[in-house]
A and B are shown apart, each in its own frame.
Chain A
């Protein structure tokens, strides 16, 4: 079976198995691994051959795991493209061994998709019974003592978000249609919620203070360290290029320029301290990888060589600035004014190619 992207617990099944074998630390009730083993699963452990899967502060992982072991939910917030969803998947895989109990938040998300709904044919023939009940991720997670993931929670309307209140605080979900004891589902040990929210979407729907209080907030930041980000972009884009049939690895000096530019445009500040406007587009590491991939493709298929800084300019316009004329203008301004004072061949190339931007 060729699955495009199996869930984390399948992709890293052998690592999880190794961790389970050697895991002798106490486990929180209902957890598949101890906190230490779960942490090792995410930040990596060379001795056990466990790879590092998330580049970021280890203390963030510590806090996230501890939050999950307490009575509060975990809310990962941050700019788009900071690997929040990946982190939530890894956490769920480590804690429950299953990352598939996922609710994707959106404007059209309803309580049915979160809690439970009914098989209407059976509902009509049998009435409300356990058989006609169709559990959604929240109910399944509570009944099975599993981690439930709620992606992009702030894209849901406020009143839909609030259906998490009693599962989070009283750890119980009422199914009023079912008679007797079956009408109350109490959460088993191991149940908790990992939600993610995008800081750019905060304006779409806010979150009630009551719900905020039931979550621990963890902000996921873009990668702080230049070298780490550069090597991540290099390895990821190299892998993508190989998969696209490009045999030439990306040029490191061009990637350096790319990552520098992304970091400066993201932070709104150049290395020597000039303040600039941030782009409204997302300048995430994931986006940088996409641009590096595009640069490599362009270089290889247009002139049979690794992508150059000139290719970078063309790709930046499409991938980074997208359709915003404002962003395009800001990008042009950056290329005009913040390339001349730097040394190095790729910066000169970049500057020379600045008129490749559409409308330049």
Chain B
């Protein structure tokens, strides 16, 4: 009749010990565990004897939503220990939580994240009360380092305090109602034998309350929505991934440390940590002296004493190591004091410490475990496309059947399955190559790689999508890497990136610092976003995000770029051209013309900006103002074309300025009331030397005009001077520029000699 609900923190060794001791002492009829109830028929799979960590991966797809989530287990997970101990003592085992595909988990990818983090205020208050930095340190302080015999009371007090003040969210309420149903049913079916339930401590107070009254039938597993496909299966997991959950998805950090704590106790775990960190640092040539280690040890023990721990806890050891090993100012706070993923700019000693805590342990499934569906899916797909062989194959991307084959191969390549290498094929979205050649080899390690990849999804496209999302998160600011991800999205035909990934992608692009590179990426992506049909990327949200973010970023970078004497840089001008196109055609992606015009107006009149950029932005302001902002009175402070051109001719940088202008807006010259007459006057007014100086830049500038337009310009110039003749002939001067220049120099020389001899034009 008795019901014992153990409120745990997931992945806590102290809780795991409590669970094992309780189950052994009570020998309950039922052990109920917070876990996916749709796995109840397959609990046997979990008892096979795997090498941990492993995870139950659940994959869900319906018409609107696709979702993958993990329930990771390591040796010291209370849930895992409950399974094993419950099995040993002959109890009936049941998972009692909603399935991972249920709406209650729609925004979650880690079932065993800390629930209390979603209710941060209470946790913060506790941290302040106990004078610790964050919830992990608080947890170590109260539970992991606390006396074993008091743990049950401490857990109750801790979670009651946190839960006491906050109302649970909608999804937590739904889960608690469901879990309480199982509790009631188990109690009714157990007769006079005890029932033990292992649930997240945050839910315990509510479950105890809800378990009191209500129906006592076994709750059914919720029905799948019509048309939905779900798969749940065991996959190998790794400590690295277990530690990589961030924000409110995260659970207990530092799996390797807690593994040591679980296996050998806190003293040994602390010693192990110091040994590993010292070893890693020495291995990398970072000096760690014996005196440093003594200092680290002393400090850790003193800190433990100060903080009231019987032996140094995780943060005591880390603080001690940091005090002893870091002899300079840090650029970013110590990762264990802020909680969350490792940020860039960490001290090398700190990086090694975090790595040592995290560990590199990889799980392995027992050979009898059913293979993850990905393995079957891949085998089937390879057969369907005739790719289940070795040798060289060629695919034509224009052929729909071949394109499917190419996509399958690219998906395998993205998942790093050995044996699929592409030797030729398109290198970017604009590459005209349309044929790929692949070399297929039968590699022995393929099955292992596929089982590991099985943790990313049940089908190849789903797994590729998850892997690519991970790559986006790994490379903020690295445009080349992000571009590679986008291209892989296109090549492997996985459709759309969504949600957080898009946001991270936008952040990643917005962190870029190279104007030329951003321009290149923007122009390629914009073209693909507008026109691409081959890869099916036209109008996709991912590319739209890149278009918007890159436009914004180029505007931002240009606005601060200074260097009045710098020569024209075609790459820079092309970046502004890309912005122009994005502003004209990318409104659907969220590009704001008004913002572009404003920046353009400012850069155009900024004397400190490079002249080509000024010219380019002047052009941008005019083009955009004319095309998009017809309803606005114009750009305040923007000079008229005549003023702008005269201004540019003042500093001897006219050619560079014109290169920028023509690159972005050559039609301002060709327009009927354009600036051609003015340009003609100004260029004719050059002294011979000035002209020669400006000539290379002028040539570069006029190169932005295609031949037909150059001919129009030539015609108009002839017209303006009242001369007849063909503009085309004027453009095809038979002599090379060097000869013309030499001729001009000779004219000049003759003129000077003549005047020296009193025969100059003036004296005749």
Give the interface of A toward B (CB within 8 A): 35-36, 39, 43, 57-60, 62-63, 65-67, 69-70, 72, 77-78, 197, 199, 202, 212-213, 215-219, 221, 224, 272-277, 329-330, 333, 336-337, 340
Q: By CB atoms of chain B within 10 A, which of A62, A218, A276 has the most?
A: A62
Chain B residues, Cβ within 8 Å of A277:
560
Is B327 within 8 A of A35, CB to CB?
A: no
B512: which A residues are within 8 A, CB to CB? 275
- With A62-B306, A217-B329, A333-B556: A272-B507 Cβ-Cβ less than 8 Å: yes
B511 interface contact, C-beta 8 A = yes
Closest Cβ neighbor of B316 among chain A residues:
A62
Please pick, from B131, B507, B602, the residue contacting A39 in the complex, using a CB distance under 8 A: B131
Chain B 502-514 against A: per-residue CB contact (8 Å), 1 yes, 0 no? 0000110011110
How far, in whole Å, are A276 and B337 apart by their CA atoms in the complex?
26
Contact A330 B560 (CB under 8 A): yes
- Whether A274 pairs with B556 at a CB distance below 8 angstroms is yes
Name the A residues within 8 Å of B560 (CB-CB). Answer: 277, 329-330, 333
One of A67, A199, A224 near B323 (C-beta < 8 A): A67
- 0/1 per residue, B577-607, Cβ < 8 Å to A? 0000000000000001001001100100000
- Chain A contacts of B327 at CB under 8 A? 212-213, 215, 217
Complex: A213 Cα to B325 Cα, angstroms: 10
Q: Are A336 and B333 in contact (CB under 8 A)?
A: no
With a cutoff of 8 Å between Cβ atoms, the chain B residues found around residue A337 in the complex are 552, 555-556, 559, 595, 599
| Interfacial chain B residues near A224, Cβ < 8 Å | 333, 338
- Chain B: residues with CB nearer than 8 A to chain A? 131-133, 137, 295, 298-299, 302-303, 305-307, 315, 319, 322-324, 326-330, 332-333, 337-338, 476-477, 506-507, 510-513, 552-553, 555-556, 559-560, 592, 595, 598-599, 602
> Bound state CA distance, A77 and B329, in angstroms?
6
In the docked arrangement, what's the CA distance between A199 and B602, Å? 35
Q: Which of A57, A66, A72, A219 has the most CB of B within 10 A?
A: A66
A51 to B599, CA, bound (A): 49
Known contacts A57-B333, A59-B315, A216-B299; 5 additional CB pairs below 8 A are: A57-B133, A58-B132, A63-B303, A66-B299, A337-B559
> Which B residues touch A60, using CB under 8 A?
337
A351 to B280, CA, bound (A): 51
Min CB distance A347 to B, Å, is 15
CA distance A273 to B512 in the complex (A): 11
Q: Note all chain B residues with C-beta closer than 8 A to A72.
A: 295
Q: Nearest residue in B to A276 (C-beta to C-beta)?
A: B556
What chain A residues lie within 8 Å of B303 (beta carbons)? 62-63, 66
Are A274 and B553 also in contact (CB < 8 A) when A57-B333, A330-B560 are? Answer: yes
Take A276-B556, A333-B560, A337-B559 as given contacts and tell me if A67 and B333 are in contact as well, using a CB distance cutoff of 8 Å: no
Q: Check B323 against A216 for contact (C-beta < 8 Å).
A: yes
In the A-B complex, the 4 residue pairs with the smallest Cβ-Cβ separation, listed nearest first, are A273-B507, A77-B329, A219-B330, A58-B131
- Contact: B319 with A336, CB < 8 Å? no
Q: Is the pair A199, B133 in contact by a Cβ cutoff of 8 Å?
A: no
A327 to B91, CA, bound (A): 69
Q: Name B318's closest neighbour in chain A (CB-CB).
A: A59
A63 contacts B326, C-beta separation under 8 Å: no
> How many Å from the CB of A338 to the closest CB on chain B?
9
B299 surroundings in chain A (CB, below 8 A): 63, 66-67, 70, 216
Whole-angstrom distance between the Cβ of B499 and the nearest chain A Cβ: 15
Q: With the chains together, A275 CA to B507 CA distance in Å?
A: 9
In the docked arrangement, what's the CA distance between A333 and B560, Å? 8
Known: A58-B133, A66-B306. A78 touches B329 (CB 8 A): yes
Q: How far is the CA of A219 from the CA of B350 in the complex (A)?
A: 13
Taking a contact as CB atoms under 8 Å apart, the answer to whether B302 and A69 are in contact is: yes
8 A–B contact pairs at CB < 8 A? A59-B133, A59-B319, A60-B337, A66-B302, A77-B329, A213-B327, A217-B328, A337-B599
Residues of B within 8 A of A276 (CB): 556
Say whether B329 contacts A202, CB under 8 Å.
yes
What is the CA–CA distance of A131 and B132 in the complex, to the nearest angstrom? Answer: 49
Given A58-B133, A216-B323, A274-B510, CB of A336 within 8 Å of CB of B306: no
CA A273 to CA B553, docked complex, whole Å:
11
A219 touches B329 (CB 8 A): yes
Chain B residues with Cβ below 8 Å from A274 are 510-511, 552-553, 556
Contact B338 A43 (CB under 8 A): no
Chain B residues, CB < 8 A from A63: 299, 303, 319, 322-323
Q: A66 touching B553 by the CB < 8 A rule?
A: no
**A273 touching B132 in the complex, CB below 8 Å, given contacts A59-B315, A66-B299, A333-B556:** no
Q: How far is it, in angstroms, between the C-alpha of A62 and the C-alpha of B315 when the chains are bound? A: 11
Whether A59 contacts B306 by the Cβ 8 Å rule is no
B653 CB to nearest chain A CB (Å): 21
- A36–B308 alpha-carbon span in the complex (Å): 9
Q: State the Cβ distance, B293 to closest chain A Cβ, in Å.
A: 14
Residue of A nearest to B508 (CB): A273
Q: Which A residues touch B555, using CB under 8 A? A: 337
Closest chain A CB from B358 CB (angstroms): 20
B486 to chain A, nearest CB (A): 18
Q: Chain B CB within 10 Å — which of A60, A274, A330 has the most?
A: A274
Min CB distance, B87 to chain A, in Å?
41
